[in-house]
Structure 1
Amino acid sequence: MTIAYWCVLFMGLFPYVAAGIAKKGFEGYDNGMPRQWLARQTGFRARANAAQANLFESLPFFFTAVIIASLVNAPQDRIDLLAIGFVFARIAYVVCYVADWPTARSIVWLAGIVCVVTIFFQI
């Protein structure tokens, strides 16, 4: 399995880390109605939940880029490097989101998108 494919696997699971942060401590958590409970949250819980949603939203674009680049035999070392860049950007994104650093969050979000778009240009 290539490094880029490992990154795909990691990113497929990573949103659940943000979900865990949102539910950290489970204060009054209602597993019967988790979305309603999360909708009432504020602070870091609300931001972690929003980060989770954004992580899921970014996955199709990233997955598609890696798969297409692999199918057309783009240089694997470049795909791997850009996939790692995307992963690090998304990890930093969650940190910035939970810490309430909006400007830094936007910068690392952009860095992640640049990595994905650049994967497409390896084709």
Structure 2
Amino acid sequence: MTTELCMLVWSVVLGLVQIALAATCSVGQRGLGWAASARDEVKPPLSGIGGRLDRARANFLETFPLFVAVVLAAHLLQRHDNMTVLGAQLYFWARLAYVPAYVAGIPYLRTLIWAASVVGIVLVLAALF
């Protein structure tokens, strides 16, 4: 398995962990009854760490499809070089660092980490041209 595909697999694991953490906080704040229901009743947004975990999860889900697309395109086109490896690693490690930075509420650092993950996507994308 290439490094890029390995980083893709680990990113899926990271995404699942983020979903589980956000869901756990949601159940903690809203109750198991709400989580098991059809959720027709509108509840206020999650607050505190639960809200931050949920927003970090949502942010991950915004960037992840782009990462999947460029990694799979690079794999299918057999574009595998130092730039694609660096891009895939940068994306994964930045997304991993993003969660604790967001939970800790460190605004500028969180933004820099997010930007690093986007640069990772762009590096893999650039290898496709």
Residue type of the alignment partner of 2:68: F
Alpha-carbon distance in structure 2 between the residues aligned to 1:2 and 1:38: 44
Q: Percent identity?
A: 26
**Structure 1 partner of 2:15:** 15
RMSD between superposed Cα atoms in Å: 2.4
Write out aligned runs for 1:1-123 (5 A).
1-22=1-22, 23-24=24-25, 26-27=27-28, 29-30=31-32, 31-33=35-37, 39-123=44-128
- Contact kept, 8 Å, 2:7 with 2:89, in 1: the verdict is yes
For residues 44-86 of structure 1, the C-alpha deviation after alignment (integer angstroms, 9 at most, x for no partner) is 1101011111111111110111111222222344322221111
Q: How many residues align?
A: 123
Q: TM-score, normalised by structure 1?
A: 0.84
Unaligned regions of 5+ residues in structure 2, if any?
Answer: none
Residues in 2 aligned to 1:91 and 1:20: alpha-carbon distance in whole angstroms? 15
Is there any run of 5+ residues in structure 1 with no aligned partner, and where?
Answer: none
Contact 2:95 2:114 in 1 (8 A): yes
- Between stretches 37-46 and 57-66, larger displacement belongs to 37-46
TM-score normalised according to structure 2 size: 0.80
Taking the aligned partners of 1:33 and 1:49, their CA distance within structure 2 comes to 19
Equivalent AA in structure 2 for residue 53 of structure 1: A
